[in-house]
Amino acid sequence: MKISSYANRVGGFAAVNTGVINDCYSDAVVKFKVNAAGFVFENTGMISNSVAQKKTVGKENIGGFCFRNKGIVIESGWLRKDAKEKKYHKNYADADLVVDYEKFSELKEKLGLGVRWKAPDDGDKRLDFSDELHGNTLAMEGKDVVEISSADELFKIAQEIASGDAYAASCAYKLTKDINLKGKKWLPLGISETMAFSGVFDGNGFKVYNFKVDAKNLNYAGFFGYVKDARVMNLTLDCVVKAEGGNTTGGMCGTNNGGTFSGCRVLARVSAEKCCGGFVGNNMGTIEKCCFIGKITPIVPLLLWLLPLLGAIFLFLIAGVIILIINLNKSPYNPTIIDPNGKPVIDDTPFTPPPAGSSRISFECNQEVYVDENSQIGIIQYVNPKRSTQDVIISIKVSDAELVRTIGKTGRTAEEQAALEASGKYNPETAFQVLYRSGRLKIGYMLELCQFDALPDGTKLPAGDYEMLVGIEAYDPETNEKAVVNAQAPISVHIIESKAN
């Protein structure tokens, strides 16, 4: 089979392994057209007692566990319990690594997993480790231990290592609490071979969550970028990973060169490109008792639409997305408050005026929005560029039908629900609830984050995948009058589960 360039491969746990991986698993749906595998794409090292628990979907060079194996794989493989899912497995290159089973006890015996693995209390939906795996903290002999208890302290350490501080790069760190990075972009610990992380990092059973790994312009990206002979243990990450523009990317680590990871896990949604794995991009060290839980898909381009404000009803089909522009009667509108979270954007695109007598909305927005379950903060990256002629207010809304499908209820109060149903006009498919509404976003500004409100009955959206709409209301930047049209487009929202260790 033909394999594309070395840099273009994706694995549910690791893209490439030349080291040792033991007692690890990936619980990841991997959807990639070519060059993808459920656990490791290419292995020339050793993998033992490890499994890929969910399916890999693709067309060419696809493996359920490992597409190309030139190393050693012992008591490991991809799991198949439901015969209905055989359609996903017919093009797997590693059919010999399938592990068919009916009961969890049978699976443990086949793979020699022993007492260290268990099924959750509600059944054998997912393999997991016993909590004791995260209990042993490795010794830090001969190193000063720096305790970390805040986001500011963590960001400071990342900056020091990136600036070439050898002491910071080789120090021993220990978390003393969960740390919320509040949706910010993360600077990897160790951004290159010459500025690698070579110390000790003990998560101490805590997690770092609500942050974005953006690999753009980085050779190595992850919470750790490049690790050299370091030790990392007992750490949980809950984040969004965007591998676009990077060379080697993983949720936990871009490249592990001689380091040891133990008792760690990554919960993430990964937009993959080049050499990318859910946990690590390229492993040349030792990883044991670690896991990746999430979803891995290709990079989805930002939506980009030009919407002429023509005061009529139009349907646009651009890049597979339908945008509905709804005619409204123009009327005076109360002044709107400028959104304080708006940030100016650098936009060097030449401005082309719209036709005389018309206006234009031009916008960019993430087609898939990832939201932390605890904080309900998501990364939307909405841009109102300079080529637009209108200020905008954006909203994110979900239908009652979608809420019933995903959480089993509409989330409205009993009184409100009863009144709607008594009206005789209630249709859950067309009844929407607004979860987020921005202030007015000026031309040339962007919003990086959004925060969802709770539903009327107080429910916060739980982890899961939701289909929603983003709405755009246009406003004249000089008079603040509401324009004669609104626009809306579908987006996918992924609430990322937040778990305590």
Average pLDDT over residues 339-350: 75
216 vs 158: which has the higher pLDDT: 158
409 C-beta neighbours (distance < 10 Å), count: 13
The pLDDT, as a whole number, for residue 490 is: 83
pLDDT confidence bin for 118, thresholds 50/70/90:
low
Paired strand residues for 249: 221, 276
pLDDT at 146 over 80: yes
Model pLDDT for residues 280-327, shown as the tens digit of each residue: 999 999 999 899 988 887 765 444 333 443 332 233 323 333 333 333
13 C-beta neighbours (distance < 10 Å), count: 36
Model pLDDT for residues 221-236, shown as the tens digit of each residue: 899 999 999 999 999 9
pLDDT at 1 over 50: no
Which of 450, 180, 464 lies closest to 294, judged by CA? 464
Residue pair 68/43 in contact by the 8 Å Cβ criterion:
yes
Average pLDDT over residues 258-266: 93
Instruction: Name the most confidently modeled range: 81-95, 114-128, 433-447.
Output: 433-447
Model pLDDT for residues 365-377, shown as the tens digit of each residue: 777 888 888 999 9
pLDDT at 154 over 90: yes
Q: What percent of the chain has a predicted confidence (pLDDT) above 90? A: 36
Average pLDDT over residues 195-205: 93
All domains in the chain, ordered by first residue: 9-298 (no CATH), 303-496 (2.60.40.1940)
pLDDT at 197 over 80: yes
Range of weakest confidence among 113-127, 199-213, 445-459:
113-127
279 vs 494: which has the higher pLDDT: 279
The pLDDT, as a whole number, for residue 211 is: 86
> Please, what's the largest Cα pairwise distance for the chain?
74
pTM for this one? 0.62
Half-sphere exposure at residue 208, Cβ-oriented, CA atoms within 13 angstroms: 32
Instruction: Name the most confidently modeled range: 21-25, 63-67, 81-85, 397-401.
Output: 397-401
Which residues lie closer than 8 Å to 396 by C-beta, 6 or more apart?
369, 380, 434, 435, 436, 450, 452, 468, 469, 470, 471, 491, 493
Which of 97, 106, 4 lies closest to 51, judged by CA? 97
pLDDT at 339 over 90: no
For the chain, give the number of residues: 501
